[in-house]
Structure 1
Amino acid sequence: MGQLSHAVHNPDSMKKLPQLSPYLLLTLANLFWAGNWIVSRAFRGELPPVALSFWRWAVALLCLLPLSLPQVRRDWPQLCAAWPWLLFFGALGTGGYNVLVYGGLQYTTAINGTLLNSFIPIMIVLISWLLTGKRLHGRELAGILVSFVGVLAIVAHGELQRLRELTLNVGDLWILASVLAWSAYTLLLSRRPPVHPLSFLTAISVTGLIFLLPFYLWEMAQGRHVIPTPGAIAGIVYTGVFPAFLGYILWNRGVAEVGAARAGLFMHLVPAFGIVLSMIFLDETPAPYHAAGIGLIFAGIWLNTRRIG
């Protein structure tokens, strides 16, 4: 997902970034996250789901440490005091969410996966409403609904009858489980310790790897190993550097400037980019309903952000 919608405002951590539009930063983050889904689907034979998740976060951690070590040292007492929550965030967010996504993509297409992932903003709003009664403002809700109609248009292939006949395979169910996991993770982030964003990401990268290790060992015991082809190695490097590392930094800066509600709507760009990337790299054929759906997704984003100036 592309992920880490929990980013908090900390201008000092991002002051070295060029002064680019926050919407460009959010768009790039979602482009990187869409590529994550393509890599998992394309190399599902060479990269088992737990292995890909484990090595993705190992690469991300290597990228993070040179930047985050000073903050980690400063925040060490708070991180130690919050270790139960850090274990939870690592297990549910960086570990569990990615395993469920990669597991689902063993059985369903990248397009289906990214579309189902678009339920995250809706799921967050629904759970927030059920538990706390918190609702979005009218314009924000309208933007989400318009974008979601675009998602449904793509799912239905532009035909209402397809929605009535829609069936889910086991991979789709795994993806929906990941949607629930990420939504719960996001809503519980109010319990995160008050530390630097890079300290927090480093900590949950470590706890996520700890959570994944026994599952990775079990996966290998079942005879599922990484097949180290050049493409598979490149895929691991890509998922670690771009979605997990750079995607977070760009997302953090964008959220800091426009707020979580508006930034969350940009998650609907993942299926839009996913469709285009699937056509390019997975040899899937475009259709008119893809264009209509993508147009509605962008219309929803425009509706939600047009007053910003």
Structure 2
Amino acid sequence: MSLPLPAPKTSTSIKDHLSLLLTVTIWASTFINIKIVLLQVPPNTLAFLRFLVASIVLGLHLIWRRQPFVKRQDWPLAGLTGLTGITLYNFLQNQGLKYAGATDAAILAAMAPVFIALLAWLLLGERISRRQVAGIIMAFSGSVLVATNGSPEGLVLNPARLYGDLLVLLTGLSWAVYSISLKRLLNRYTPVTVLTCSTIAGTIFLFPLALLESPINWAAVDISCWLNVLYLGLLASALAYLIWNTVLTRVPAVTAGVYLYLLPVITAIIAALFLREIPGTFTITGGIIVLLGTYLAGK
């Protein structure tokens, strides 16, 4: 997902709505693509390959558009956004998806606005309303319901799933730090410049993590796996972000933000079709509570 940016309150065209829906559908599908690729490629290597592709595409796009990269004095801030929004986020997500279900992961990853509200309160001194407090409590309660499957015994019966859920939950915290750091860069550069430089920085940080993993028998990696990697790099990490940032220059942020709440729903549908993951009653109930709480916390 991407941080919604301020936009003029103009009427939103059907093309813009379709673009937002396409972007969110692509992002929802990544939870399934990642689980498929993880069967053959370890998580850190997958993240590095994905964003290496994205870095090349975005870098060429920036050069073609003749837009500048960030200035030297802003490299540390660009590095921080890449470390939190690209490296840590995808490290935690890929590691978590080794154990968590795709639907669980989509629900828990949707809690990023909750962490943004908390960090803005703790670090920036922004006021937090009673409605936001209620939303935070609801979101965390729903996440516990999803992770435990409605019973404390779930902690004992399936510790691997709980571990995966917790890692994915931490992606929300990582994204919150990224979003707050991003604000300063967005005041100085275009969204495409910030996205490109953050992606390149995050890819550089992912490289040593990929080297730490066991050697891979590349000859055994089939063409389907490589197609999924290209899909993650070209469509999910480059094209989708470019579409999202472009549409956000024309539509109100609140309009785009509503589409992010479709992520768990679309992920659940795709996971049921391709992974045969059928969400249980507690997952559905907890997911609804998480989304409602996140909506209140993010307002």
Name the TM-score, length of structure 1 as normaliser.
0.76
Is 1:265–1:301's contact at 8 Å kept on the other side of the alignment? no
Change (3 A) 1:293 1:239: same
The match for 1:81 is 73
Structure 2 runs not aligned, ≥5 long: none
- 1:61 & 1:107 partners in 2: Cα distance? 28
CA RMSD of aligned residues (A): 3.6
**1:95 alignment partner AA:** T
The match for 1:211 is 205
- Offset, 1:8: 4.5
Identity among equivalent positions (%) equals 28
The match for 1:30 is 24
- Choose from 272, 275, 280 the match for 2:265: 272
The match for 1:231 is 224
Structure 2 counterpart SS, 1:75: coil
Change (3 A) 1:9 1:58: farther
Change (3 A) 1:180 1:143: closer
Change (3 A) 1:253 1:45: same
- 1:139 & 1:20 partners in 2: Cα distance? 32
- Offset, 1:178: 1.6
The match for 1:184 is 177
- 1:214 & 1:294 partners in 2: Cα distance? 35
The match for 1:67 is 61
- 2:132 & 2:49 partners in 1: Cα distance? 37
- Choose from 34, 37, 53 the match for 1:40: 34
Structure 1 runs not aligned, ≥5 long: 12-17, 304-309
- Offset, 1:117: 0.7
- 2:110 & 2:201 partners in 1: Cα distance? 26
Structure 1 counterpart SS, 2:68: helix
**2:174 alignment partner AA:** A
- Choose from 113, 117, 133 the match for 2:105: 113
- Which sits farther off after the overlay, 126-135 or 287-296? 287-296
- Which sits farther off after the overlay, 129-138 or 60-69? 129-138
The match for 2:2 is 4
Change (3 A) 1:282 1:10: same
Is 1:64–1:245's contact at 8 Å kept on the other side of the alignment? yes
- Offset, 1:67: 2.4
**1:172 alignment partner AA:** D
- Choose from 237, 243, 248 the match for 2:236: 243
Is 2:110–2:291's contact at 8 Å kept on the other side of the alignment? no
Cα offsets for 1:119-173 (capped at 9, x unmatched):
112221222233345358899999999999987886676x6xx489667642122
- Offset, 1:183: 1.0
- Offset, 1:266: 3.2
Is 2:108–2:165's contact at 8 Å kept on the other side of the alignment? yes
Structure 1 counterpart SS, 2:248: helix
- 2:139 & 2:19 partners in 1: Cα distance? 19
Name the TM-score, length of structure 2 as normaliser.
0.78
- Choose from 249, 252, 255 the match for 2:248: 255
- 1:166 & 1:9 partners in 2: Cα distance? 41
Is 2:104–2:283's contact at 8 Å kept on the other side of the alignment? no
Structure 1 counterpart SS, 2:262: helix
**1:190 alignment partner AA:** K
- Offset, 1:182: 0.8
- 2:174 & 2:295 partners in 1: Cα distance? 28
- Choose from 173, 182, 190 the match for 1:196: 190
Aligned residues: 287
**1:87 alignment partner AA:** G
